[in-house]
Structure 1
Amino acid sequence: MEMIYAVQRYAATRPWAKRVGQLYAREVQQTAAQQQVQELVGRELTRAAQVYPAVAARTASEQRLADAYGQFCRHGKLMAHLEDGLMQALRHTRAPGHLPDRLQLPAAAFYLHVDGAEGGAFVMQMPGRQEVALLLLRADFSLAGADWLADVEDSLALQLAYPGELAAPLAAVAAPWRGLLTAVLNGLALMTQPRLLLVRGWEGSAPSDSVALAMHPACAKSRQKGRSQLLQAGYQEVSYCRLDGVATLPGDYATPGYWRRQAVNDAQGGARLVWVMPR
C-alpha cells in the first residue's frame, strides 16, 4: 500500500510511534506525556546508535517529531489535505504578510498535507500564548525502501506568533524550505476562511467498496464495518479542504492572488484575512 502522507510513514517506521500515541491520549497533562516520550525516544536511539552511530545526533529532531505526532494523536488524528485544484490557486497566491488576529484552526494539533511534491507539516496551536508551532516534513520523508536510521531526514521546526509579521520568518528560512513554508502559511490562512469546507473521507488509494461501506448514508453498522476494514488495512481518514468554485478555476493565472486584512466588527475587534483569488 502506497503511503502518500508523511504522518503515515512516520507511524509505520518509528517503533515507538504506537506507544507515543497511547501516552499522549492517556495522560491528562500533556507535559507528563512529553517527558515520558522524550525519555522513550532517547533510550531507543541510544540502542540504535550501537549499530548506527550517526543516529545519536538526531535525538533532538526525533524527539520533536515524536512530540508533534503525539499531539496529532491527542487531538483526534486530523489530516487536512489541500487538494490539487486548491493548491494550484494557492501556488499563485502570495504568502500572507501576517497571520490573522484570531487563528481559528480545525484542531489544536493536526497534520496539513500539501498536494503535489512539497510535503506537509504538523501544526500545533498554543492559543494562550498566541503562537503556532510548525514542523515541516519534505515529501520524501521516510519513503518506502529507505532506511530512516541510516538516512539523514530533514525537518524544519518553526514557532510563529500571531498576528505577527511573517516576512522575517520566511526570509530566514533556507531556500529549499521556502516553497513548502509558503504553501503551509497559505494553507493556514485558508483554514480561517468561512467558506472553507473540511470534507471527511478516506485517502484516494483506499478500496472503493470499503469506502462506500464506511460512508453508508443510512446504516451505522455498515459504516462501522467499513471503517474497521479500512483502518485494519492501514488506510487513514482524511479531511479534504474544499472551497466552492476553486476546483473549476483555470490552472493558468495572469494575476496572482493575495491576502488582505479586513477589520472584524464585533466585541473582540481585530482583523481577519480575506483571500483575493488569482485570476
Structure 2
Amino acid sequence: MESKKTGPIDNAWALKIPEFKEKDNPHRLLEESSFATMFPKYREQYLREHWSLVQKALAEHHVKAELDLVEGSMTVKTTRKTWDPYIIIKARDMIKLMARSVPFEQAVRVLQDDISADVIKISSFVRNKEKFVKRRQRLIGPNGCNLKSIELLTNCYVVVQGQTVSALGPYKGLQQVRKVVEDTMKNIHPVYSLKALMLKRELAKNPKLKDENWERYLPKYNSKNISKRKEPKKKVKKPYTPFPPAPEESKVDKKLGSGQYFLTEDQKRAKKQKEQEARHEEANKRRQERRAQAFIPPEEPVPK
C-alpha cells in the first residue's frame, strides 16, 4: 500500500477553472439581493468624489450602487440584467474595503475572479489598549517596512486602519496575511513569519523539495512568557499575645521623654546649632582622612 498518493488529485489542482460567462446563466437571477455597509465621516468626501467611478465599475456587471450621505451608508443591489450570482458578494466586499480606507484603484480589483478580500478584526486579540497599539505598530513596522514586506511576500494589498486589517489579493496570499496578523497580535514578532514566508518561497523553487515536508527548514519560535508581576511578600506570623499592642507615643510624649519640651526657644536654637556644628566637624574629619590617604606610601616588598 502506497503511503503517499499522487496523480489525478495533484493534477486536479493544476487544472484551470473555466471562466463563468453570461451564456452559462441565460435565465438571470430570480430574486434581488442587496448589501449595505456604513462608512465613517472622514471617508465621506473621498467616496463622494469617486462614487461615479464605483457606479461605472459595478454597472459593467449590472449591479446598482447607491450612496446615502445622510445615514452614512453604501448599498449595492442586483438588477434584472445581473447574470453572475456571486458578483453581489464581490460588490459587497468592494464597498466594505472602501469604507476601511482602501483606495478605489485597489478595491475595484476584488471584482476579478482570482482576487478576494479579507477584513481581519484585531481588537479582540488584546484587551489592554497600550499593548494593542504597540502590537499594531509592530505589524506596520518603522516607516511601514513590515507591512511592505508582507505585501511583497503574499502578493496582497494590506491596509491597517483602526481596529481592523484589510487585505486584498489571491486566496493563498490572504491566508498567509491572516496568519501573520493573528500571530503578531498574539505577541509573536512578524519577523519570524516573514522569515518563514521567504523560506517557503525559496523551497517552492526547488523541484526536489516540492512534495516534501518543510517543517525542518522553517524557523521555530519558542515563547518566553516572563511574568513581570512582583511576588507577594510572605507574611511572618507574630507570636500570639493576649495583650493589645502599646499605643504609639505622640510628638509631645517624645519631647517630654527627651526633656526638649521644657527648653526655651534660645536653648532649642543653641542645641540645634551645636548638633549641626558636630555634624560639620565629623564630615570635615572624614574629608581630611580621605585626602590624606593619597599621601600614604605603598608597602614595599621586603627583599628575601
> Above 0.5 in TM-score?
no
Instruction: Calculate the TM-score normalised by the size of structure 2.
Output: 0.27
The structure with the largest strand share of the pair is 1
Structure number with larger C-alpha Rg? 2
Instruction: Calculate the TM-score normalised by the size of structure 1.
Output: 0.29
Which structure has more relative contact order (CA 8 Å, sep 6+)? It is 1
The structure with the largest helix share of the pair is 2
